[in-house]
Amino acid sequence: MKRPLVVIGAGATGIIASYKAAMDGATVLLLEKTDRIGTKILISGGGKCNITHDGPINSVLKAFRKNEADFIRPSCFRFTNQDILNMLTERGLNVYTREDGRIFPVDQTAKDVARILHTYLQDANVHIKFEAPVTEILAPGGKVEAVRLGDETIPTNHVILCTGGSSFPKSGTTGDGYVWAKSIGHTIVPILAALAPVDLPLQNLQIKAGVPLRDIILKARVQNKVIAQWRGDMLFTHTGLTGPCVLGITREISDHWQTEPAKLEVDLIPDLNFEQIQTRLTQFKNERPGSQIRPFIEQKTTRGIVPRLLATAEIGEEDINQHITKKQINILTQTLKAWQLGPVKEVLLDRGEVVAGGVDLDEVDPHTMRSHKVQGLYLAGEVLDIAGPVGGYNLQAAWSTGFVAGETAAADWLT
Ligand SMILES: Cc1cc2nc3c(=O)[nH]c(=O)nc-3n(C[C@H](O)[C@H](O)[C@H](O)COP(=O)(O)OP(=O)(O)OC[C@H]3O[C@@H](n4cnc5c(N)ncnc54)[C@H](O)[C@@H]3O)c2cc1C
């Protein structure tokens, strides 16, 4: 019997790769370490699954760094955001597009996405082996010969490697693919946290965990230069910060980590400039000494941080309705526009949505996902050095590269 085409990892990438390869005629064996498919799909988007991003592919690609966009362009055109949505909606999933372009299931559950994808695998006769942690890819002389599952050896000449990254290790992704890829000749670009929460000493700020900040701009500075900023929401945690704004800037923070830890600051009222806020506060002070200052700040920010903002400007609770100096107004305005949160202590790689780094893109053909180093090896998804921003971009990269890997591997398998 002909050796099967082996796909390692049943995440978004491996599911689509297996489906496409099987539909094109290959005998596909999908090996998954955990006891289910799509472990990360299930936790994606807070359990709601931000499936992809809306818009023409060229605009979706703009969200990625240039080298990454160049790499995934051919596969994103081959299997688009509309293609994955068609697959899911044809089998009953209703989706909606948020104002910011992010696309979710209407019933807000990732389980339906995974369930529907499972039906595709069943229909295509993909043989799935669960609780099957691959331990090695054997490729003597630069040619795939087999994969090892502990003591068991599975002969194969075609392997699609889709083991994902190394964040959220409990979901099965412990970076195994990097180790094998390196051992058979690939270069691994150093792994860095991207889209991750941060630890930050918050004792001085005295803000309770769970306090949110809405529609702010979070900025990261290194040597006084802004290296990244993101507008949106964020949340204080017990040890630091999380939320879209934080995730949106952590890749740059990781990039600059060797220089020095970034210092974070928040523009709490992005729609008003310094002068506008200063004028408003001064008017309040002159009209009815101070009485409207607190309601103004509470309305524009979040109640839970107001005592801290007032303390920074050395405005006591008893002063606020009485006498406030011009200097205090200036400090308060400054705090509202650039509230200093301090230096980041750590970017939490294992709790990130994706990692940056991975198999060097120069060593994989973007039109086919074939390895330039090893015959019979195809690489796709997060195991590659790709990390898009929050917004459904990472799953799209997984669907698209997985599809092309499946297509090419099946064509090679059949010849
Ligand atoms: C909390 C969280 C939320 C996210 N939300 C979103 C979102 O809403 N939208 C979005 O676009 N992206 C999101 N992402 C990112 C997205 O989930 C990933 O980019 C994407 O799942 C990568 O797909 P993949 O198939 O390449 O890797 P993975 O989904 O990580 O799949 C890899 C698979 O390989 C298996 N595996 C690993 N090692 C072995 C081995 N030795 N043997 C056999 N199997 C193995 C793993 O068990 C896993 O099932 C989120 C990520 C996280 C962690």
Q: Is the pLDDT of residue 181 over 90?
A: yes
Q: Which atom of ligand 1 is least distant from the CA of 34?
A: 47
Q: Is the pLDDT of residue 76 over 80?
A: yes
Nearest one of 75, 87, 95, 93 to 123, comparing CA atoms: 87
**H helix runs in 135-243, sequence order:** 176-183
| Burial annotation 141-152 (CB, 10 A radius, 16+ → b, else e) | eeebbbbebeee
Other residues' Cβ atoms within 10 Å of the Cβ of residue 171: 17
Residue 170: per-residue pLDDT:
83
Ligand 1 centroid, distance to 215 Cα (angstroms)? 29
| Both tokens assigned to 322 | 């009485």
Residues 6+ apart with CB under 8 A from 346: 198, 199
Residue 227 CB–ligand 1 contact under 6 Å: no
Q: Is residue 265 helix, strand or coil?
A: strand
What span, in angstroms and rounded, lies between the C-alpha atoms of 247 and 257?
16
Widest distance between CA atoms in the chain: 89
Residue 196: per-residue pLDDT:
94
| Both tokens assigned to 176 | 């195994």
Residue 14 CB–ligand 1 contact under 6 Å: yes
Residue 39 CB–ligand 1 contact under 6 Å: yes
Residue 394 CB–ligand 1 contact under 6 Å: yes
Q: Is the pLDDT of residue 318 over 80?
A: no
Whose C-alpha lies nearest to ligand 1, atom 31?
Answer: 11
Residue 289: per-residue pLDDT:
61
**H helix runs in 226-292, sequence order:** 244-255, 274-287
Residue 15 CB–ligand 1 contact under 6 Å: no
Report the side by side order of strands in the sheet with 28-31.
Answer: 127-129, 28-31, 5-8, 158-161, 377-379
Q: Which atom of ligand 1 is least distant from the CA of 177?
A: 38
Ligand 1 centroid, distance to 341 Cα (angstroms)? 32
The average confidence (pLDDT) of the chain is 94
DSSP 308-371: HHHHHTT--TTTTTS---HHHHHHHHHHHHSEEEEE--EE-GGGSSEEEEEE-GGGB-TTT-BB
Residue 316: per-residue pLDDT:
80
Classify residue 355 as left (phi > 0), alpha (psi -120 to 50) or beta.
beta
Q: Which atom of ligand 1 is least distant from the CA of 133?
A: 42
Residue 173 CB–ligand 1 contact under 6 Å: yes
Residue 293: per-residue pLDDT:
83
Cα-only R_g, the chain: 25
Other residues' Cβ atoms within 10 Å of the Cβ of residue 287: 10
* Percent with pLDDT over 70 in the chain: 98
Ligand 1 centroid, distance to 206 Cα (angstroms)? 35
Ligand 1 centroid, distance to 195 Cα (angstroms)? 13
* Average pLDDT value for residue range 158-173: 92
Residue 7 CB–ligand 1 contact under 6 Å: no
Residue 295: per-residue pLDDT:
84
Ligand 1 centroid, distance to 251 Cα (angstroms)? 18
Ligand 1 centroid, distance to 39 Cα (angstroms)? 7
Residue 290: per-residue pLDDT:
61
| Burial annotation 76-107 (CB, 10 A radius, 16+ → b, else e) | beebbbebbbebbeeeebebeeeeebbbbbee
Residue 30 CB–ligand 1 contact under 6 Å: no
* 210: Cα separation from own chain's centroid: 21
Q: Is residue 196 helix, strand or coil?
A: coil
Written as one letter, the residue type at 79 is F
Residue 132: per-residue pLDDT:
97
Residue 376 CB–ligand 1 contact under 6 Å: no
pLDDT in tens, 319-370: 776 678 889 899 999 999 999 999 999 999 999 999 999 999 999 999 999 9
Other residues' Cβ atoms within 10 Å of the Cβ of residue 203: 7
Ligand 1 centroid, distance to 317 Cα (angstroms)? 49
Residue 272 CB–ligand 1 contact under 6 Å: no
Residue 129: per-residue pLDDT:
98
Residue 324: per-residue pLDDT:
81
Q: Which atom of ligand 1 is least distant from the CA of 380?
A: 26
* Average pLDDT value for residue range 372-381: 98
Residues 6+ apart with CB under 8 A from 410: 5, 20, 21, 22, 24, 25, 26
pLDDT in tens, 92-140: 999 999 999 999 999 989 999 999 999 999 999 999 999 999 999 999 9
Least confident of 168-172, 175-179, 341-345: 168-172
Q: What is the pTM of this model?
A: 0.94
Burial of residue 128 (CB within 10 Å: 0-12, 13-18, 19+) is buried
What span, in angstroms and rounded, lies between the C-alpha atoms of 4 and 193?
35
Q: Which atom of ligand 1 is least distant from the CA of 135?
A: 41
* Average pLDDT value for residue range 360-388: 98
Residue 88: per-residue pLDDT:
98
Residue with tokens 């799953």: 395
* Average pLDDT value for residue range 36-52: 95
Nearest one of 264, 259, 270 to 198, comparing CA atoms: 264
Q: Is the pLDDT of residue 287 over 80?
A: no
* Average pLDDT value for residue range 62-71: 97
Q: Which of 36, 44, 159 to mutate to test the pocket of ligand 1 (most atoms within 8 A of CB)?
A: 44
Nearest one of 391, 321, 361, 302 to 62, comparing CA atoms: 391
Residue 385: per-residue pLDDT:
97
* Average pLDDT value for residue range 277-293: 79
Q: Is the pLDDT of residue 254 over 80?
A: yes
Residue 232: per-residue pLDDT:
94
* Average pLDDT value for residue range 57-61: 98
